[in-house]
Structure 1
C-alpha cells in the first residue's frame, strides 16, 4: 500500500522547505502586519479612552463651575434683594417720621389757633356782656 522509499523523505524535505519559505515570505510579514495593526488599534483605543475620560472630567468640572456660579449669582441676588428691602424700610421709616413730625406740627398749629380763637372770644364775650348789661340797666 505505501512505499517507503526515497520519495517520502524527499517529500518531507519539500514540505519542510515550503513551510520555511511560506513562513519567511507569507506568515512572518502577515503576522507582523496583524501585530502592528493590533498594536495600532490598541493604542488608538486606549488614547480614545483617555481622551474620553479627560472630556468627562472637563464636563464634570464645567458643570461644577456652572453650579458654583449659579450659587454665587443666587446669593448675590438674594443679598441685593435684602439690601433693597433694608433701604426701602429705612426710607419708609424716614417718610413716616416726617409725616409724624408734620402731623404734630399741624396739631400744634391747630391748638394755637384754637387758643387764640378762645382768647378772642373771651375778649368779645366780656365786651358783649358789658354791652348787654349797659342796655339792660339803661
Structure 2
C-alpha cells in the first residue's frame, strides 16, 4: 500500500524547488527568446510588406510613366507623319507644276520649230515646184 510519510513532503518540496529553478533558469528565458523572435518576425513581416507596397507603388508609377511616354511618342510620331505627308504633298505639287511648266515650254518650242519649218518649206515650195516641173517637162 501507499505510505504517506515525511518523504512525500520532501519529494513535494524538492519537486517545487526544481520547478522554480527550471522556470527561472530555462522556461522563462526560452519564453523570452521565443517572444523576441516572434516580435522580430512580425517586424520583418511588416518591413517586407512595406517593401512590397513600395515596390508595387514604384512599379505602378513606372507603368504609368511608360504608358505616358508611349502616348507622347505616338503623338510625336503622328505629328511627324502628318508633317511628312504635308511636305510630300508640297513636293509633289511643286514637281507637278515644274513638269507642267517644262511641258508647256517644250510644246511652245515644238510649235515654234514647226512654224519655222513650215515657213522654210513655204519659201522652198516655189523652187521645188519649178524643179519638179522642169524634170517632168523635160
Scaled to the shorter chain, the TM-score interval is 0.7 to 0.9
CA distance in 1: counterparts of 2:16 and 2:23, whole angstroms: 10
Q: Which runs of 5+ in 1 are unaligned?
A: 133-138
CA distance in 2: counterparts of 1:25 and 1:124, whole angstroms: 144
Give the structure-2-normalised TM-score: 0.74
Q: Does 1:5 align with 2:17?
A: no
Give 1:98's aligned residue.
Answer: 98
Aligned residues: 131
Q: Which runs of 5+ in 2 are unaligned?
A: 131-138
Q: Does 1:38 align with 2:77?
A: no
CA distance in 2: counterparts of 1:18 and 1:123, whole angstroms: 151
CA distance in 2: counterparts of 1:111 and 1:22, whole angstroms: 128
Give 1:20's aligned residue.
Answer: 20
Q: CA RMSD in A?
A: 2.8
Give 2:72's aligned residue.
Answer: 72
CA distance in 1: counterparts of 2:110 and 2:21, whole angstroms: 130
